[in-house]
Amino acid sequence: MGFVLPLQPSAAEKRARDLMRKARADVNRLEGAEAAMQEGDISTAGLIFTRLAARRPSTKTTETAKERLAQLRELAKQEVTAIDEHLAALGQSYAQSANDPQAVPNTAEIAEAFKDYARLVRQFRNVPGINLETHVRKQSVKPHFAVVINEPSARQLWELGQQQEEEGFACCAVRVYEKAAQLVPAPSARSAVERLGVLKKDPQVVASVSICRELEWCHRTYSKAERLLEFKPTEARQLFTEIVRRAPKTSEVYRFARGQLR
């Protein structure tokens, strides 16, 4: 939840494999990687440059590949710095207006900046010596950025919790609000924290949440015990026994666990 970094697309690896297979000589592979780099396909270029740079013994092609990787690292540094500086300016502007109750972060620009970060992560993930993911995560937890980045996920959880309450599932709503609360300082996360405080004052809700947690543990443990039956029957039996001890006697998981023990 919150800001999610993009997964590496498989297209880059496929293109790199195809290019390496078709170009038998390293010099031709280098040319292909340089062409990909010029096209802006840094992900594919990074894979090929890395493989060529690792060749032993070292050749002119190997050294050129190392130079290209150094150039890509410098390019990534420049682009990240530009985004960092833009976000720093936005953060400073918001901090200066902190005493203004009407002040809000520049949501659109902050969101766009993190989209730019995500683009760089996709582009440079295959270039060794760059750890963009860690840098972006550190940026995303700064309060004046987190309030923007976390809000979409927090809002989704808040709305789900509200729906569950309307349908009479307060125990499920509590579990959802607890997840949303982890996304503070997002506005919807703050709403979830406030609602949690109210719900947890109700003894019936607290009791139902406790039962819900126990049932969840029992179902998860039952699945684990089933997997152990064939190879570790003694350990599986111990788990079924614990489920029978903890599960409500009216529940299906209690009945199934007792059946396994028989």
Domain range for 80 is: 10-148
Task: Classify burial at 134, counting beta carbons within 10 Å of its beta carbon; exposed 0-12, middle 13-18, buried 19 or more.
Answer: exposed
Residue 102 has pLDDT above 60, yes or no: no
Q: What are phi and psi of 183, to 5 degrees?
A: -100, 15
The pTM is what?
0.68
User: Is 5 a member of any domain?
Assistant: no
* Shared-domain flag, residues 113 and 158: no
In this prediction, residues 227-252 reach a mean pLDDT of: 93
Q: How many domains does the chain have?
A: 3
The chain-wide mean pLDDT, for the chain, equals 89
- pLDDT confidence of residue 7: 45
Residue 9 has pLDDT above 60, yes or no: no
* Shared-domain flag, residues 94 and 214: no
Residue 50 has pLDDT above 80, yes or no: yes
User: Is 60 a member of any domain?
Assistant: yes
User: Is 4 a member of any domain?
Assistant: no
* Shared-domain flag, residues 100 and 66: yes
* Shared-domain flag, residues 101 and 187: no
User: Is 90 a member of any domain?
Assistant: yes
* Shared-domain flag, residues 15 and 138: yes
State which of 123, 148, 173 marks the end of a domain.
148
* Shared-domain flag, residues 39 and 100: yes
Q: pLDDT tens digit string along 66-81?
A: 999 999 999 999 999 9
* Shared-domain flag, residues 114 and 188: no
Confidence of residue 24 (pLDDT cuts 50, 70, 90): confident
Residue 234 has pLDDT above 50, yes or no: yes
- pLDDT confidence of residue 16: 82
